[in-house]
A and B are shown apart, each in its own frame.
Chain A
Amino acid sequence: MTCEELLKALNDYVDGAQLTEICEEFSQHLAGCDPCQVVVDNIRQTISLYRAGQPYAMPKSFEERLQQSLKQRWEEKHGGSGASATFG
């Protein structure tokens, strides 16, 4: 197994592929290789860390402007009383 093949397998493994789907050689390697296991764990932690943060709340003032603009556009497109659903 070359370095590239190993890294590729490792990447698929992080993405949730089962060991059996990747290859026997990688599976055996991972079982006996602490550094590889730690790299996999580091990558998973890295992804979790980026997912854990929700720092970008939409500004309230923008939300109001957005709703206004959308309402206006909707009414232009659907003709006048866009806010009430009519069927037929």
Chain B
Amino acid sequence: MENQLLDERTETDLLHEAKEGNFAAFQQLVTKLQPRVYGLTFRILHQAQDAEDATQQTFMALIEHIADFREESSVATWVLRIATNNALKILRKKRTVKMVSMSEMASEDSYSDVPHPEFIAPWSQTAEEIAQQSEVQEELQKALLELDDKYRLVFILRDVEGLSVRDTAHALELTESNVKVRLLRARLILRERLTKKFGDALQAMIPDHKHS
């Protein structure tokens, strides 16, 4: 009975109780948030052990800082931001050679060299139908992994996790305009690749206009 009552509490309710020292509420909050935290860190790191480390660090940090959290964003957004930072730290350590520098990570991108759509065709099935196919997930992850980190991270946070442009910018310490440019690039690269696979070639079209 008590568990049922706990389950009906929102993340914000649980946060408030946890702030007052209620461990059961804190545990409930962790249970609610852990699929997203683990999913996000796994998507960034692509390795179970690393994702576990980042997840654990995130919730440990939550214990440390929960009392100071000023609730300027939702608790989920805040926790996902901590998770992103932890995942990035692990990613940077692993990529000492290949890793782009912090300044490159934060450098401004422009729209001028964004790749233009080449293969344009409606997909022959809906995303929901395609998602049911077992080999598709692997294909999706492969495509995502081939993106540069700076584009991949923006796509994961904004489009997969559904954070706002503003929260994505905040989590990655980028400007909102830079998030948008990188997002466009990530979306166009993934669109191109997935449309080559799932697009209906018989209905392929060529842009019939030239922009100046």
Q: Across the interface, do A56 and B160 meet the contact criterion of CB distance under 8 Å?
A: no
Q: Does B17 contact A (CB under 8 A)?
A: yes
Q: Across the interface, do A74 and B26 meet the contact criterion of CB distance under 8 Å?
A: yes
Q: Does A2 contact B (CB under 8 A)?
A: yes
Chain B residues whose C-beta falls within 8 Å of the C-beta of A78 in the assembled complex: 21, 23
Question: How many B residues have CB within 8 A of the partner chain?
Answer: 67
B-side interface residues toward A, CB under 8 Å?
Answer: 17, 20-27, 30, 34-35, 38-39, 42-43, 48, 51-52, 55-56, 59-60, 63-64, 111-112, 114, 116-117, 120-123, 126-128, 130-131, 136-137, 140-141, 144, 155, 159-160, 162, 165, 180, 183-184, 187-188, 190-191, 194-195, 198-199, 205-209, 211-212
A-side interface residues toward B, CB under 8 Å?
Answer: 1-8, 10-12, 14-15, 33-36, 38-39, 41-43, 45-59, 62-63, 66-67, 69-71, 73-74, 77-78, 82-87
Chain A residues whose C-beta falls within 8 Å of the C-beta of B114 in the assembled complex: 4, 7
CB<8 Å pairs between A and B, sample of 12: A5-B111, A38-B120, A42-B122, A50-B140, A51-B162, A58-B35, A59-B52, A67-B27, A67-B30, A74-B26, A78-B21, A85-B23
Minimum Cβ distance to chain A for residue B122 (Å)? 6
Q: What is the chain B residue whose CB lies nearest that of A78?
A: B21
A38, A53, A85: the one within 8 Å of B121 (CB): A38
Chain A residues whose C-beta falls within 8 Å of the C-beta of B116 in the assembled complex: 3, 7
